[in-house]
Amino acid sequence: MIKEADGKTRLCGLIGYPVGHTLSPVIHNTLAEAMGKNLVYVPFSVEKDLAAAVRGAYALNILGMNVTVPYKKDVMEALVEVDEAAVRIGAVNTLVRMEGGYKGYNTDYLGLERAMKEENIQIAGRDVVVLGAGGAANAVVYLCAKAGAKQIYILNRTVKKAQGLAEQVAAYFPECPVTAMETRDYDKLPDRAMTCIQATSIGLFPNVDAAVIEDPAFYRRIDQAVDIIYNPGETKFMRLVKEQGGRVINGLKMLLYQGVTAFELWNDVSVDADTCYKVQKLLEQELQK
Ligand code: NAP
């Protein structure tokens, strides 16, 4: 964090409800200090009247905002422009100040893309299983289609949501085959090596002893995987992947890089790898508290 605010300090923040648990101030205040930016990041608890909050932020000359639950979709109506990927995903998590208002971006999918590239978890040319069809899964499935998955399987408890997501992706990426299935039909998946991205909320702290699919037979197919949950640092899903010999990462780097990408958009800078690593270590420390 910068040592002292002065007349030139810029403000960035997070709009959501609730926001008390957020790790974003750790990311952005560390980046501000490391990158020599006179910037402070604070969470704003917005209980209602989202449009007034966005207008107020603009009037207060706030440089940029993150947006979290429950506003990632509704915020689009309060923006002057929305990036094409965010429109296709149907969610905005980053507002960038421009003439007359804010432009919306989705850095969740960009964060996941950076995390997977860094860890060499592959999508291109592969069969990919996405577990979940909620808000986060929208960004995950978009990334899989954009990055050239050979075939995407979306498995969800509520199959209708998986079907809706599959249709949405097919409209933008007609060349990418997407199949929607009920999670309990996982044994109907073809028996070949696959990448799996776990995007449900099952396994999240404090329910750490649960996984969306518990059967080891499912995990024999999974040779590369991501659980986008980062608390706990090792989920039951991750243990099940490892027990069958697969390679798996948690969602901490996705969180890190969605923040880094937002910071880069706000400040028109590129954050170096050493600084990213420093922020990652601080996030890990915070999660151990
Ligand atoms: P969401 O919109 O509420 O979606 C939740 C998903 O989990 C849905 O697919 C839901 O299935 C499924 N689910 C929940 N409870 C279930 C149960 N008991 N049995 C079977 N399925 C169940 O949540 P979200 O915003 O997508 O977030 C999902 C997870 O991603 C959270 O754990 C969140 O922490 C994590 N996340 C991580 C990052 C990161 O940066 N690493 C970013 C965003 C989110 P139904 O559709 O059937 O209800």
Which residue among 107, 110, 200 is best mutated to probe the pocket of ligand 1, counting the most ligand atoms within 8 A of its Cβ? 200
Question: Which protein residue's CA is at the shortest distance from atom 17 of ligand 1?
Answer: 202
Q: Specify the long-range contacts of residues 163-169, CB closer than 8 Å, at least 24 apart.
A: 164/133, 165/133, 165/137, 165/138, 165/141, 166/141, 168/88, 168/90, 168/138, 169/141, 169/142, 169/145
User: Is the predicted pLDDT of residue 260 greater than 90, yes or no?
Assistant: yes
Coil vs helix vs strand at 5? coil
Pairing of strands 247-249, 222-227: parallel
Of 37, 72, 103, 146, which residue is the catalytic one?
A: 72
pTM across the whole model: 0.97
Q: Which atom of ligand 1 is nearest to the CA of 158?
A: 47
pLDDT in tens, 195-226: 999 999 999 999 999 999 999 999 999 999 99
Q: Which of 24, 2, 30 is nearest to 277 (CA)?
A: 30
% of the chain surpassing 90 pLDDT: 98
Q: Whose CA is nearest to atom 40 of ligand 1?
A: 255
**Ligand 1 pocket member 134 (CB < 6 A):** yes
d(CA 275, CA 27): 10
Using alpha carbons, select from 151, 155, 117, 113 the residue that is nearest to residue 137: 155
Is the minimum distance from the CB of 156 to ligand 1 under 6 angstroms?
yes
CA–centroid distance, residue 201 to ligand 1 (Å): 4
Measured CA to CA, the distance from residue 33 to residue 269 in angstroms comes to 14
Average pLDDT of span 151-158 = 98
- Of residues 167, 163, 176, 90, the one with CA closest to residue 128: 176
Model pLDDT for residues 83-130, shown as the tens digit of each residue: 999 999 999 999 999 999 999 999 999 999 999 999 999 999 999 999
Taking alpha carbons only, the member of 88, 73, 68, 203 closest to residue 141 is: 88
158 lines ligand 1 (CB under 6 A): yes
**Closest atom, ligand 1, to C-alpha of 210:** 18
Q: Whose CA is nearest to atom 11 of ligand 1?
A: 157
pLDDT, residue 267, reads 98
Q: Report whether residue 138 contacts ligand 1, using a CB cutoff of 6 Å.
A: no
Does the annotation mark 37 as catalytic?
no
**How many CB atoms within 10 Å of residue 287?**
17
Going 52 to 58 to 61 to 92, the CA torsion angle's sign is positive
* Ligand 1 atom closest to residue 228's alpha carbon, by position in its atom list: 41
pLDDT of residue 2: 72
Distance CA(169)–CA(41), nearest Å, equals 34
pLDDT value of residue 201? 97
What pLDDT is attached to residue 3?
77
Per the structure block, which two tokens stand in for 245? 């010999």
d(CA 218, CA 100): 51
Confidence check: pLDDT of 1 > 90: no
DSSP state of 189: S
Look at residue 254 in the predicted model and tell me its pLDDT.
98
Closest residue by CA, ligand 1 atom 39 = 255
